[in-house]
Amino acid sequence: MAEVIVERIAVTEANGFCDGHFPGHPLVPAAAQAQWALVALERIAGAGKRWEMRQGKFLRELRPGCTVELRLSREKRGWRAQVVDAEGAYADMLWVPHE
């Protein structure tokens, strides 16, 4: 069984994830979710390594007021990063070393 690294992220309007997206209807943009994965990858794999998102699917709207998990698992081609909660996935990304 593959190793899975899990980080919990509290999604609130106060932490700035939703700034500008969208007034009166806050939403965490895909770019913020990708940044969470990239920061975690740099911490796990070591700073200085460059990564690119080879695949990315953003499946549901992520709104403030919840806690999600960022799950990272090693795959043959790179790292799978998923943003999930008990109801399923918000994002599914495959990150590979930049060539």
- Which pair of structure tokens corresponds to residue 13? 């309007």
From the list 38, 42, 32, the residue with the least C-alpha distance to 53 is 38
pTM of this structure:
0.91
pLDDT tens for each residue of 49-98: 899 999 999 999 999 999 999 999 999 999 999 999 999 999 999 999 98
Domains annotated on the chain, with CATH: 4-97 (3.10.129.10)
40 within 8 A of 81, measured Cβ to Cβ = yes
From the list 94, 86, 81, the residue with the least C-alpha distance to 67 is 86
- Residue 95 forms beta bridges with which residues? 53, 79
Q: What single-letter amino acid sits at 28? A: V
